[in-house]
């Protein structure tokens, strides 16, 4: 290890259906193992609004932008991976085969527009679902017994505990699904591969295998930090009317996301004991959201990260 050069990196990733997405400063690569065993790679440049406007890189603001962009990029990666496991009807295949090149081009353009609308629609639905289940529902439940609490801080703390409990139950329930367990294995492969690169080791299956599947910059940790930050921030809101109180909390959600981004970014780079303590609950939670991958899954994660780090052409094949 003494000859190896450690890498300070902002590379992140996400597990998808039978694959891994890796995002670097300039490029995004999604590697997916097709049903026939071939690994297909889709590589695109990073198109972030943060690169166009400098003021968006200010602390907190950059966190809000990065969070939304991550949702969009993640949804695109999931939809790309799902394409290899969709069973197209024979009737649809026959129709496409009978089309002229012009008709096929028009059909593909229409499909592209529908796909784009579906991506942003999925992001909006995911946000509404998350806000409703993890932010608004706990507030409504605690409001039913709010008169029992002697102070706003105690009521806010209780609401935060209810929020975290709902989140943990949700994670535990989805983790029992067979397909989700498979995704969690690729999640572990993603973390191991990034750790291998950050440690300066050569990106091989043997090297990646020995690293931890738990990573301090994981999105799972981010969500838990969001809940803790919301408890602290919402404790300063002392409003009796529930609709007004929930409305103010919705307005503060971008601030919560921005602050949480700064915390997890610092936790991922700092080696201090304080930051380790901050990261610890999220690391524990990753024991649920990640699983030990097999060598074939590590191979996919390595293919994705290698594509980001090198100049592999788009839609390369391994």
Q: Which of 235, 263, 259 is nearest to 249 (CA)?
A: 235
Does any domain span residue 314? no
Does any domain span residue 228? yes
CA angle (301, 181, 219) in 5-degree steps:
60
The whole-number pLDDT of residue 207 equals: 96
The whole-number pLDDT of residue 5 equals: 57
The DSSP code sequence of 68-121 is HHHHHHHHHHHHHHHGGG----HHHHHHHHHS-HHHHHHHHHHHHHHHHHHHHH
CA dihedral 254, 256, 258, 259 (to 10 degrees): 160
Residues in the chain: 318
Q: What are the φ/ψ torsions at residue 81 (nearest 5 degrees)?
A: -65, -35
The whole-number pLDDT of residue 221 equals: 85
What is the rounded CA–CA span in Å between residue 23 and residue 29? 7
Does any domain span residue 47? yes
Q: Which of 286, 289, 287, 290 is nearest to 298 (CA)?
A: 290
Q: Which token pair is 202?
A: 């050569």
The whole-number pLDDT of residue 2 equals: 37
Q: Average pLDDT of each block of 10 consecutive residues along the chain (318 residues)?
A: 54 93 92 94 89 87 91 89 68 58 71 72 82 89 88 89 93 91 96 94 95 89 88 86 89 92 83 81 92 97 93 42
> Residue 114's domain spans which residues?
12-309
> Which residues, listed in sequence order, are joined to residue 31 by a DSSP beta bridge?
20, 41
What is the rounded CA–CA span in Å between residue 135 and residue 231? 11
What is the rounded CA–CA span in Å between residue 86 and residue 82? 6
Q: Which token pair is 126?
A: 């995911």
- Do the beta carbons of residue 232 and residue 260 sit within 8 Å? no
CA angle (17, 291, 82) in 5-degree steps:
5
- By three-state DSSP, how is residue 277 classified? helix
Does any domain span residue 68? yes
Q: Which of 71, 30, 27 is nearest to 47 (CA)?
A: 27
DSSP-H helix ranges across the chain: 61-82, 90-98, 101-131, 137-143, 152-174, 178-198, 205-209, 219-234, 242-269, 273-289, 295-309
Does any domain span residue 3? no
Q: Which token pair is 212?
A: 């931890």
Does any domain span residue 318? no
pTM of the model: 0.82
Does any domain span residue 199? yes
Q: What total of structural domains would you count in the chain?
A: 1
Does any domain span residue 1? no
């Amino acid at each position: 290890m003494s000859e190896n050069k450690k890498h300070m990196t902002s590379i992140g990733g996400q597990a998808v259906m039978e694959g891994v997405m890796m995002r670097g400063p300039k490029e995004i690569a999604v590697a997916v193992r097709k049903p026939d065993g071939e690994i297909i790679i889709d590589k695109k440049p990073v198109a972030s609004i943060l690169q166009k406007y400098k003021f968006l890189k200010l602390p907190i603001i950059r966190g809000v932008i990065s969070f939304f962009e991550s949702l969009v990029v993640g949804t695109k990666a999931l939809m790309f991976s799902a394409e290899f496991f969709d069973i197209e009807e024979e009737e649809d295949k026959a129709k496409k085969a009978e089309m002229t090149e012009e008709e096929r081009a028009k059909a593909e353009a229409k499909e592209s527009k529908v796909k784009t609308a579906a991506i942003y629609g999925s992001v909006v639905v995911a946000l509404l679902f998350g806000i409703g289940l993890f932010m608004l529902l706990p507030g409504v439940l605690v409001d039913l017994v709010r008169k029992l609490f002697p102070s706003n801080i105690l009521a806010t703390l209780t609401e935060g505990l209810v929020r975290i409990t709902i989140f943990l139950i949700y994670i535990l329930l989805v983790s029992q699904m067979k397909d989700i367990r498979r995704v969690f294995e690729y999640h572990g492969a993603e973390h191991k591969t990034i750790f291998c690169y950050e440690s300066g080791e050569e990106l091989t299956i043997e090297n990646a295998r020995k690293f931890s599947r738990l990573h301090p910059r994981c999105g799972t940790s981010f969500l838990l930090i969001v809940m803790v930050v919301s408890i602290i921030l919402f404790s300063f809101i002392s409003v009796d009317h529930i609709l007004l109180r929930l409305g103010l909390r919705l307005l503060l959600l971008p601030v919560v996301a921005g602050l949480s981004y700064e915390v997890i970014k610092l936790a991922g780079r700092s080696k201090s004991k304080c930051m380790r303590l901050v990261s610890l609950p999220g690391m524990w939670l990753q024991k649920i959201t990640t699983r030990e991958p097999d060598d074939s899954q590590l191979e996919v994660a390595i293919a994705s990260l290698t594509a980001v780090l090198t100049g592999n052409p788009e839609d390369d094949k391994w």
